[in-house]
Structure 1
Amino acid sequence: MPGRVILVVRSWPRLSQTFILNEVLAMERRGAELTIVSLAHSNEQRRQSQVDKVRAPILFLDDVGFRARWSRIAGHAHVLAAAPVRYVATLLHVLANPGLSRGYATCSAVRCFGHAVVVAVLVLRLRRSDARTPHLHAHFAHDPALVGMLTRRLTGVPFSFTAHARDLYQIPPASLVARAAAANAVVTCCQVNADYIARTVPAEVRPPVQVIHHGVELDRFSPTLRAPGRDLTLVSVGRLVEKKGFADLLRAWAALAAAGYRFRGEIYGDGPLRRELTELSTRLGLGELVSFHGERDRDEIARALARTDVFVLTPCVTEDGDRDGIPNVLVEAMACGIPVVTTATGGIPELVRSGENGLVAPPGDMAAITAHLAVLASDPALRRRLGESGRRTVESGYDVEAAALALEAVFDPRTPLTAEVAS
């Protein structure tokens, strides 16, 4: 392993980004020395209890006040003095290419340069204290990867980034090319994303692209004995945003109820569409059949999964290209031995093979989603078979410890990487 891994994220801690927290804890269990650099505080009211187990120091770049401003000014002076040619060349590059921050972004290119200077100071300090070279890894291809790319230009530090979903598809292709060309490796969570990167980034500048599935803690999400009830419990988890397809899910549930099936529907998550979805649920006549529970941490989600008969998630691709990779909640449900009904969006078909370890419908096809739910509602043996197969799938390819080991190889300069190799 390098002397230290600097992990750049958009905000910390995020309830919806448990996969990053899982990776951090798994890497720390393996002895990695991490520093987490967060472009902003998440300011979320809820957080995962496991956040308190993280040993890594956290550096927030959105602090305000006199001391923070003075520290940033001193940082520019320090980096300029340490590497004047790199500093001036990087600043001119940013000023000449403001489009680096176009598309899905919350920071301008100039602001990302300021963030990169702060990270560069950290890199220089770590180099003075450790003979080994630190490695910089950014989670998400938009702002964090741009900060990583600029830090690479300022310091020459080895750099990689993980591309997930919206951050990958909603930045201009030229921006993705620029980030990838500066990286030692690009990591992504599913093969469909790797294929998109291969099509977008010319081979002559494309680094190795590694598919590393987000892993779950297999001992934490594990099968439990569920006593059969008169009514099925159908559960879905996710942010209440368009790409998660909750409107399609509610319509499928309404059709299921109209066909005479008895069930309880539970939705965990919050987001900008909550009011719209609750109103839709009422209009569809779902009434007391469906409950919206809001945001919950992973401990509460694990308890909800322990009493779930069928897990349902019906994502789609939005008009602006937003989509999922492989939703972590699907992996968690399958780890619990729960049969899943989902849609063929993003990397989901890589995880769920219809009829083998779950049931998959075309995105937006309410009739197919309803039919899958009806089949599972009337066939307990099929539910059990698909649930058991789903657990085996997760055990073989979605263990967080295996993901941490694969990331170590990306961060270790001694490990030769090959292009588009799945973990």
Structure 2
Amino acid sequence: MKVLFLFETPLPDFTTHPALPEELLVMAALPQVTAIHALSPAALISGSTSLPTQLQIPFKLHQHRFSWPVGAIFYYLTWLGLLFFGRRLCRRYHFDLIQAESPHLSGLAALLLTRRYRLPFITEYRVNYPALLNFRYGPIIGGWLTLVFHTFSLFVFSRSALVAANSATLASWLKHRHPHLRVAYYHPGIKPPPITPLVSSRRNLDFLGRLHPDKGPDLFLQLISLHQTWFRAHRCHFRLAGIGPLYPQLIQYCQVHQLTDLVTFVGYVDRWTFLSQTYLLINTTLVSPALEMALIEAAALGIPSVAFGSKSMPETVISGQTGFLVPVYNLDRLFAHCRQLLTDPQLYLRFSEAAKIHAQDYTFAGQVKKLQAIYKVVYA
């Protein structure tokens, strides 16, 4: 089976960049999948319309990228590029299935391509879009955009062979909202390498994610600044792993608030190596995701987490058992739970053991089986 996967966001060069989209690795693990072709824009300002260059890499993966202008307007027109270059690829490779990263951009291109070439397509649903739109545009404009998004998404969903959510939470929500749809879920899963957590007298409280406004790294630093006296007295250190547009602003904040001895920016690093030195993971994502893979990766190593969220999201933390979830922006409760885990070794140990057990529900092998079941439904 040959699959065309459409991405509206730019992908790194698979031949030089280690961060492959991990859902492609799940697909590549299926024996019936003989080839996966990933089509995406490249973040280049260019009007070139030449056919993207095919890049050969291991694991049956083939990459195709096309030049596309940057900017918000052009981002929402990405479906045109996916449609144009996708037609060329469909004629050349004769795919058996198309998968789309989202319902609103790549999903539209997938719908039009499958109509033309009579193929089934799967639409993925990975983001808590209502929360994201409200965060970015406010409740009034965000509410209107959410209505438009749901209307358009339903149009694409109803024509998909199946809707693949990235979590049990989103799958349940979709089934409740649209009971007539075929809905299942899978995600990249976790495959921890044989790493032994490092023992150190200094306890690292860490942030792992993009340095982007919706990830809340500025609130992570505010937490440190507000309670730096206590953290210093308890030999705590803080690390931020990730890159993004807020980096200069965050560096300046540390300098102004005299946090440079408490905080280290490590940039882009191997996640597992980074987590092997983590004592407690703090997640300040402002748009509560249903799935936050960094939290379950930490759990696999027995690292509890304290995160912004609600009772059900993110599902990768069981509040009160593997970590704590606190309301967004509530830095007082965030600190209170961090202090609780830092000063109660028995509680930390209990959470650590529960986290390892919880992580067993998110294994890579388990997600391969879920995706295999999805393909069986599509071709039943």
Find the counterpart in structure 1 of residue 60 from structure 2: 55
Matches within 5 A, 1:129-140: 134-140=96-102
| Contact kept? 1:361, 1:369, Cα under 8 Å | yes
Find the counterpart in structure 2 of residue 39 from structure 1: 40
Matches within 5 A, 1:218-367: 218=192, 220=193, 224-229=196-201, 231-259=202-230, 260-296=233-269, 300-317=270-287, 324-344=289-309, 348-367=313-332
The 1-side partners of 2:164 and 2:20 are apart by 13
Q: Indicate which of 91, 112, 124 corresponds to 1:162.
A: 124
The 2-side partners of 1:20 and 1:7 are apart by 13
Relative contact order, higher structure (CA 8 A, sep 6+):
1
Deviation string for 1:279-302 (max 9, x for gaps)?
Answer: 223333322100112222xxx321
Letter in 1 for 2:280: V
SS in 1 for 2:265: strand
Q: How many matched pairs? A: 346
Letter in 1 for 2:213: E
The 2-side partners of 1:115 and 1:282 are apart by 47
1:388–1:191 distance in 2 versus 1, CA, 3 Å:
same
What 5-or-longer segments of structure 2 have no aligned partner? Answer: 45-55, 134-145
SS in 1 for 2:184: strand
| Contact kept? 1:8, 1:136, Cα under 8 Å | yes
Deviation, 1:372, is 1.0
1:328–1:254 distance in 2 versus 1, CA, 3 Å:
same
Deviation, 1:104, is 9.8
Find the counterpart in structure 1 of residue 3 from structure 2: 5
Matches within 5 A, 1:202-213: 202-203=178-179, 206-213=180-187
> Mean alpha-carbon deviation: is it higher for 270-279 or for 347-356?
347-356
Deviation, 1:112, is 4.4
Find the counterpart in structure 2 of residue 24 from structure 1: 24
2:375 aligned with 1:407? no
Deviation string for 1:48-78 (max 9, x for gaps)?
Answer: xxx95433222334399xxxxxxxxxxxxxx
| Contact kept? 1:23, 1:403, Cα under 8 Å | no
2:117 aligned with 1:147? no
1:304–1:225 distance in 2 versus 1, CA, 3 Å:
closer
What 5-or-longer segments of structure 1 have no aligned partner? Answer: 44-50, 65-101, 128-133, 318-322, 417-423
Deviation, 1:160, is 0.4
The 1-side partners of 2:299 and 2:90 are apart by 41
Question: TM-score, with normalisation over the residues of structure 2?
Answer: 0.80
Structure number with greater Rg is: 1
| Contact kept? 2:80, 2:109, Cα under 8 Å | no
* % identical aligned pairs: 19
Letter in 1 for 2:106: P
1:412–1:113 distance in 2 versus 1, CA, 3 Å:
same
Deviation, 1:37, is 2.7
Question: TM-score, with normalisation over the residues of structure 1?
Answer: 0.73
